[in-house]
Chain A
Amino acid sequence: DIQMTQSPPSLSASLGDKVTITCQASQNINKYIAWYQQKPGKAPRLLIRYTSTLESGTPSRFSGSGSGRDYSFSISNVESEDIASYYCLQYDNLNTFGAGTKLELK
């Protein structure tokens, strides 16, 4: 099974900051990684798929990059509506989520 190591578990940011979350897979996942946003009491929302492809409706301040085993997700110019938890998902071989990152306001 593929393991996904996501870090950091939590982030504190000020409005307008840039934040970055990373996910490392236990093996090459061929760019098959997606990123989700989840707000309390809500279902996750797909933001980015195939490493860097923004889903329709995803603001351009969100971005993703990476290859092989190492991937990152960034939010530039954090806005208040971005306060949420974020998860990576590998879908190269079945599915594995990262443990999540909780983004809070400083």
Chain B
Amino acid sequence: EVQLVESGGGLVQPGRSMKLSCAASGFTFNNYDMAWVCQAPKKGLEWVATISYDGSSTYYRDSVKGRFTISRDNAKSTLYLQMDSLRSEDTATYYCARCAVATDFDYWGQGVMVTVSS
């Protein structure tokens, strides 16, 4: 059974950093591109970033370029999102997702909440 379990969320002050993790199991992690998707409270879904299966390529939405870094450790079957210079508008539930054959997302974690507030 495919499982994606996020961790590392919580309350953080504006301008500070936070690192999210996503532990994957039930599939061959290093065969799949992976992504982060966020959802602000009561709002819609927004794609954040994607990383290729081997970590050689990364892609970001414009609003997080230069502030967020997606990475992975295939030996640990773990996906990461390093979030720096956090802003109040980054407050959201962050989901890790597996990319299917193309870059649609077929499996999702349960999500982790990040609140950016002083």
Please report A residues at the B interface, Cβ cutoff 8 Å.
1, 32, 34, 36, 38, 43-46, 49-50, 55, 87, 89, 91, 94-100
With both beta carbons as reference points, the residue of chain B lying nearest to A99 in the complex is identified as B44
The listed residue (B35, B61, B104) touching A34 by CB distance below 8 A is B104
Q: Contact at A87–B44, with CB atoms within 8 Å?
A: yes
Q: Contact at A46–B47, with CB atoms within 8 Å?
A: no
Within 8 A of A (CB), among B35-51: 35, 37, 44-47, 50
Counted as pairs of residues, one from A and one from B, with CB atoms less than 8 Å apart, the total is: 56
Q: Contact at B105–A94, with CB atoms within 8 Å?
A: no
Residues of chain B within 8 A (CB-CB) of A32 are: 102, 104
Asked whether any CB of chain A lies closer than 8 Å to the CB of B108, the reply is yes
Q: Contact at B104–A49, with CB atoms within 8 Å?
A: yes
Residues of chain B within 8 A (CB-CB) of A46 are: 100, 104-106
Q: Contact at B47–A94, with CB atoms within 8 Å?
A: yes
- Tell which of B37, B100, B104, B108 has the most Cβ of chain A within 10 Å: B104
The listed residue (B37, B103, B109) touching A91 by CB distance below 8 A is B103
